[in-house]
Amino acid sequence: MENISKYRLLVCCTVFILLLAVAGRSAESVEEEEERQREADMVKKLPGQPPVKFRHFAGYVKLRPNEDKALFYWFFEAQSEASLKPLVLWLNGGPGCSSVAYGAAQELGPFLVRSNNTQLTLNKFSWNRVANMLFLEAPVGVGFSYSNNSNDLRQLGDGITANDSYAFLVNWFKRFPSFKSHHFYIAGESYAGHYVPQLAELIYERNKGANKDSYINLKGFMIGNAVINDETDTKGLVEFAWSHAIISDQLYVRINKECDFLHGHLTLQCSEALKGFMEAYADIDIYSIYSPVCLNYDFSNLLVPPHRLFSNSQEMWNRGLPSGYDPCTQDYVEQYFNKPEVQMALHANTTKLHYPYTLCSGVIKGWNDSPDTVLPILKKLLNAGLRIWVYSGDTDGRVPVTSTRYSINKMGVKVNEEWRTWFHKNQAGGWVETYEGGLTLATVRGAGHQVPLFAPQQSLSLFTHFLHNNPLPLSRF
C-alpha cells in the first residue's frame, strides 16, 4: 500500500509539473503573439508623413473572445524619453465622432491633415511632445471600429461605450506591456464629457479588485467644452448666445419663459422659440462664433435639428467645424482616410466595411442611455484623489464657458484660488479658478469648441501644466 501511495503521489506531482509547464508555455505563447501583433501594428510608410524620430502604431484590438467587436486605435510614442512620459488616452465625443479624424488629424496629433493632397503637416504643438498619446475610435461603428454583429449598432449608449473602452485598454496593455506602469490619464472634449468620467469611474471601481494584469495606473483626467449637466449646459447655451449678441432680448426672454430645461419638457411654444434660436445661428458656426464658415456647405446644414441641439444624448457636432487654417479641413480629413493606401498603412479597414470612412458615424442606429448629469461622478472621483481639470474655449457657442461655469458651481466645491488670468508667452491665455480636492476650471482665450485646433500653443501649455500638476502661470514674465 505504501508503494501504491508513493506511486500516486509521484503521478500527481508529474501531472502538476506538466500542467505548470503547459500553462507557462501558453502564457509565453500569448505574450509572443502580442509582441508579434505589436510589431505588425507599427506604421512604417504613412502617405504624406514628414520624417520623425518617434514611433507610431495603429490597428485593431478585439474586445472579448465571444464577441465580434474590434476597436481601432492610433498610438504615438512621445517625441523624446517615451519610457519616462505618461500615457494619455484621447476621446472625442458626438456621440459617434472619431478621435482619429478629429483629435489626431485636426487638433493635437503630430500629423495634421491641412490640404486635399496626401501631404501631412507636422504639428509643432502636438501633445506627444510631453506624453505618449493614444487615440481610440469608440464605440463600434465609429471610424474604422466595427462589429460583425449588426445588432451591436442598435444597442449602443454610454454604458456600453465605457465597458468596451475599458476592455480595449486591458487588452491594449497586453500588447504594449511596457506602458502598463506609466501614469495614465484620459482627456477629451464635447460629449467626451460623458465618456471620460464614466471610463475613469469604471477603471477606479475595477482597480479595487484588479490583479497586476488588469490594474490601470489612473491618475486623473481633463475634459474640454464638455457636456456634463444638461440643465446648466442648456441654460448657459442660451445665455451665451444672448450675451454675445447672437439672439435678441425678446427671443432670450421668450426662451426662458417657454422652456423648462430643468425638467426637460419641450412644449410647442418652446420648440418655436428654439427654432428662432437655430435661425439666429444659421449664418455662423456655433462651435466657433468668430470663425469663417466653409462655403462648400449649405448653411442650413451647419446646425443640428432642435431636438438634437437641445438634447445632449443626441449631440451630433459633425457639421461646420472650421479650423484656424481652413474651415473646410474636415473635407480633407475624410478624403485622406478613405484613400486605400492610407488605410493599408494604418492597418485599417481590414474587414472591408460596406460604408465609407466618415468623421462622425452614419451607421450607429441610436443612443440608448445618456444620463442628464455626470457631476456626481466628478465629485466621487475628486474625493477618490484623482486630478480633474475642466477647460473651455471661450468662443464656443455649443457647450460654452457659461454652461461650464454654471455646472462647476452646481457641484458646490470650495474655491481654493479665485478666478484670475493665466498667461502664455506674455499674453493672457485665459482665466482659471482652482478648487479643493484637485479640481481646476480654466478657459482658453479665443478658442472654439476644439481648443487644440484654434489655440494650439495655449492648449499644449494647459496640457503640460495638467500633467505636472503645476498651477497655470500667474504673470506675464
Active site residues: 190, 396, 449
Residue 265: strand, helix, or coil: strand
What's the rounded Cα separation, in Å, for the pair 109 and 75?
10
The tally of CA atoms less than 13 A away on the side-chain side of residue 399 is 30
| Cell, residue 190 | 464635447
Q: How far is CA 271 from CA 139, 254, 263, 330, 372, in A?
A: 31, 11, 15, 30, 20
In 3D, which of 314, 313, 258, 289 has the Cα closest to residue 302?
Answer: 289
- Whole-number Å distance between alpha carbons of 229 and 411: 10
State how beta strands 415-424 and 132-137 pair. unpaired
The residues, any chain, with a CB within 8 Å of residue 369's CB and separated by 6 or more, are 157, 158, 159
Residue indicated by cell numbers 509521484:
10
Whole-number Å distance between alpha carbons of 69 and 155: 13
Q: Are residues 137 and 71 in contact, defined by beta-carbon separation less than 8 angstroms?
A: yes
- For residues 312 and 370, the answer to whether their CB atoms sit within 8 Å is yes
Question: Using an 8 Å Cβ cutoff, are 106 and 330 in contact?
Answer: yes
Residues with Cβ within 8 Å of residue 119, at least 6 apart in sequence: 48
Closest CA to 225 of 317, 130, 325, 119: 317
Per-residue DSSP letter, 128: G
